[in-house]
Amino acid sequence: MTIRTAVTEMLDIEHPVLLAPMAGVAGGALAAAVSNAGGFGIIGGGYGERDWLARELAAAGNARVGVGFIGWSLDSQPELLDLALDHAPRALFLSFGSFRQYRSKIDASGATLIVQVQTVAQALEAVADGAEIVVAQGTEAGGHGSQRATLPLVPAVVDAIGGNIPVVAAGGIADGRGLAAALMLGASAVLCGTAFFASREALSHPNAKKAAVAGAGDNTVRSSVFDIARGKDWPAQWNLRTLRNAYSDRWIGDTDTLQQNAAQEEVRYAEAAAEGDTDIAAVIVGEGVDMVRGSESAEKIVNRTVRQAEDLLGGAKAFLKP
């Protein structure tokens, strides 16, 4: 059996599994590994570190990958879009901000425009502005997100934008059960970040990978603590899901004081992140972290996810009784 959907056809891929463009984690090697396994890898352009992006684009080699950007951050360095497009990515992935100012350049490049949203209203706006694939991201996701849960958001977005624009489900999906469920909700693929966070090819610190493997969805929180600590001026409508640690426990109820001490805390946090001190540095994973129980190759993760979904879909008739 092979799962074929509008997204696999549009991106010319074998499996409906997309790598989330995790900033600082989804580099060229990981993106290439996901694509080479039949999915679609997306390099995380993150906060605009030009040298990092150039290096990771080169690391992807000849693999057919995409590049993702944080919209409000790209606005301050729009030349990074040119750097990405010079490498002829198969798709551009934009989220957390307006993208209409970049649409003509992306269209001219031939790259497929993928836009991530967190509400139905954002989905309708994205389609009106030319998105070719819409990612409906639920609050279960690791990293930044908003209020709505994946299970009701995905079919609501599917119904709102009609059948011409494929929808990708994101948030809390880390194995084949999630892929099968997303397809039943009307999605044409899934976007997975947490599932690949501890993979061998991921750029996560080894200590962060160990923390993810030992982690649980029960122990994740959403807050702005780590954005303040990293000096990232995120708009208030989005906050960050991470594993809880001593640092988040200390500051979640006292972000005003953290903000007042931001300069010294940024230095402290940067040192901790470089050293892999996960009592301070964030482990940015979502509620699906329960399904991450080892550091495996991206190829193994993709293949297991797809095989599990195929088995579930193939056996679905067993639930129907005469």
- What are the extents of the domains in the chain? 6-203+292-319, 206-275
Taking Cα atoms as reference points, which of 107, 56, 98 lies closest to residue 78? Answer: 98
Cα–Cα distance measured from residue 123 to residue 141, given in angstroms and rounded to the nearest whole number: 17
HSE, side-chain direction, 13 A CA sphere, residue 168: 27
Q: Give first-to-last CA distance, the chain, whole Å.
A: 25
Strands 220-223 and 239-243 turn out to be antiparallel
Determine contact, residues 297/200, Cβ cutoff 8 Å.
Answer: yes
Determine contact, residues 66/41, Cβ cutoff 8 Å.
Answer: yes
Cα–Cα distance measured from residue 3 to residue 266, given in angstroms and rounded to the nearest whole number: 46
1 pLDDT higher than 80: no
Q: Which residues contact 79 (CB under 8 A, 6 or more apart)?
A: none
Determine contact, residues 111/92, Cβ cutoff 8 Å.
Answer: yes
Q: Which residue, chain included where needed, has tokens 């949203």?
A: 117
Cα–Cα distance measured from residue 322 to residue 307, given in angstroms and rounded to the nearest whole number: 28
Helix axes 298-314, 28-36, angle to 10 degrees: 40
Cα–Cα distance measured from residue 118 to residue 110, given in angstroms and rounded to the nearest whole number: 26
pLDDT in tens, 86-121: 999 999 999 999 899 999 999 999 999 999 999 999
Cα–Cα distance measured from residue 96 to residue 250, given in angstroms and rounded to the nearest whole number: 28
Q: What is the pLDDT of residue 163?
A: 87
Determine contact, residues 195/222, Cβ cutoff 8 Å.
Answer: no
Cα–Cα distance measured from residue 315 to residue 302, given in angstroms and rounded to the nearest whole number: 20
According to DSSP, the residues that pair with 169 across neighbouring strands are 136, 190
Q: What is the pLDDT of residue 322?
A: 85
Phi, psi of 215 (to 5 degrees): -80, 175
3-class SS of residue 148: coil
Q: What is the pLDDT of residue 154?
A: 98
Percent of the chain with pLDDT over 90: 96
Determine contact, residues 113/92, Cβ cutoff 8 Å.
Answer: yes
Q: What is the pLDDT of residue 75?
A: 94
pLDDT in tens, 156-170: 999 999 889 999 999
pLDDT in tens, 58-68: 999 999 999 99
Q: What is the pLDDT of residue 236?
A: 87
- Cα dihedral across residues 304, 174, 7, 156: positive or negative: positive
pLDDT in tens, 199-231: 999 999 999 999 999 999 999 999 999 999 999
User: What type of residue sits at position 158?
Assistant: V
Q: Given CATH 3.40.250.10, say whether it is the number of domain 6-203+292-319.
A: no
pLDDT in tens, 267-298: 999 999 999 999 999 999 999 999 999 999 99
> pLDDT class for 48, splitting at 50, 70, 90?
confident
Burial of 310 (0-12, 13-18, 19+ CB in 10 A): middle
With vertex at residue 229, the alpha carbon angle to CA 45 and CA 194, rounded to the nearest 5 degrees, is 50
The full DSSP string for 158-221 is: HHHH-SSS-EEEESS--SHHHHHHHHHTT-SEEEESHHHHTSTT--S-HHHHHHHHH--GGGEE
